[in-house]
Chain A
Amino acid sequence: MRVEYINPFVEAAFNIMQEVLQEDVVRKELYLKKTSQPVMGVAALVGLAGDVEGRVLIDMSKESAIGIASAMNGEKLSEIDELVKATITELANMVTGQAVTKLHDLGFKFDLTPPSIITGDNMQVTDLNVEALIVPLSVPQGLVEINVAIRERI
């Protein structure tokens, strides 16, 4: 997978989280996974289809999701309820929206699916025939992993 694909998502996530949380965001080392990988607890999944195809996962622990949703709503939330899910969905919408604008400017044409929120314990994601690039972003509420598995359509 080419790194060009992940950078717009990481930059967008970095900018958007800085803006909505009003906190410092620290970008950690990028890593690559070829096999199945664990999902932390709350993941927003967005599919891509067009010149390139694949998916983007915005993955975080339940605690981080609650913390981020609390900060974005300006109120203390305590469980993964409808509002937390709506807030993380919106976060994913904003991040993928901004990233896609950049990728379209670079000449890639594709569509996005609306985000789905997946929650649960001990989950794994497997992408056959395409490796995933992961960039962890650290915020005071916890770690958010931008996990991108995209390939060019053959």
Chain B
Amino acid sequence: MKTTSDFPSLNERDPEGVSSDGKAYRVLVVDDSMFVTKQINQILTSEGFEVVATAADGAEGVEKYKELYPNIDIVTMDITMPRMDGITALEKIIEFDSDAKVIMVSALGKQDLVKKSLMVGAKNYIVKPLNRSQVLERVVSVCK
């Protein structure tokens, strides 16, 4: 008898971060705050997403995207960062790959910048403080 059959499955739900063919969605997290990067990482990996790289500013984010392409599914992009801001990085990523799926991460009170990013081609946005269900809902809606 297989030992696993002794254990009832308590959670039949598939993790949100895995596509229908069983592959984890690959995420690049671009944020200058170690705290936010860690939070996004924890939320996404707990649902089966794979955070393949992180970048601490826009310029590094663009570099990593180009390096990883096409093995990258989603980018979370902070807006206010040193060296290169998130909107400029978004423009450069869209210029390189017009199908890029970029989700902006913004502090409250930056509606104009969020609007601008959506015009430039961001697929969705998340407002800080991050809330687990909001992050997952927005990221999953972009994956599907």
A-side interface residues toward B, CB under 8 Å? 16, 19-20, 69, 72-74, 82-83, 86-87, 89-90, 93-94, 97-98, 100-101, 104, 114
A139 to B74: give the CA distance in the assembly, Å: 37
What 17 additional pairs, Cβ within 8 angstroms, besides A93-B33, A94-B108, A97-B109?
A: A73-B35, A73-B38, A82-B34, A83-B34, A86-B35, A89-B35, A90-B33, A90-B36, A90-B128, A93-B128, A94-B128, A94-B129, A97-B128, A98-B109, A100-B109, A101-B108, A114-B80
B77 to chain A, nearest CB (A): 16
Which residues of the partner chain A approach B109 to less than 8 Å between Cβ atoms?
97-98, 100-101, 104
Inter-subunit contact B42/A74 (CB<8 Å):
yes
Assuming A74-B42, A94-B128, is B35 touching A87 (CB within 8 A)?
Answer: yes
| B110, CB-defined interface residue at 8 Å | yes
A-facing residues in B24-73 (Cβ within 8 Å): 33-36, 38-39, 42
- Among B35, B80, B128, B131, the most chain A Cβ lie within 10 Å of the Cβ of B35
| B142, CB-defined interface residue at 8 Å | no
B-side interface residues toward A, CB under 8 Å? 33-36, 38-39, 42, 80, 107-110, 128-129, 131
A82 to B34: give the CA distance in the assembly, Å: 8
Which residues of the partner chain A approach B42 to less than 8 Å between Cβ atoms?
74
A-B pairs, 4 with minimum CB distance = A97-B107, A101-B109, A86-B34, A86-B35
Contact of B107 among A19, A72, A73, A94 (CB under 8 A): A94
A97 to B109: give the CA distance in the assembly, Å: 5
A82 to B24: give the CA distance in the assembly, Å: 30
A39 to chain B, nearest CB (A): 22
Which residues of the partner chain B approach A87 to less than 8 Å between Cβ atoms?
35
Which residues of the partner chain A approach B128 to less than 8 Å between Cβ atoms?
90, 93-94, 97
A89 to B35: give the CA distance in the assembly, Å: 9
B88 to chain A, nearest CB (A): 17
Which residues of the partner chain A approach B110 to less than 8 Å between Cβ atoms?
97
Assuming A97-B109, A97-B110, A101-B109, is B129 touching A86 (CB within 8 A)?
Answer: no
Closest B residue, CB atoms, query A112: B109
A83 to B110: give the CA distance in the assembly, Å: 25
Contact of A83 among B38, B108, B129, B131 (CB under 8 A): B38
Which residues of the partner chain A approach B35 to less than 8 Å between Cβ atoms?
69, 72-73, 83, 86-87, 89-90
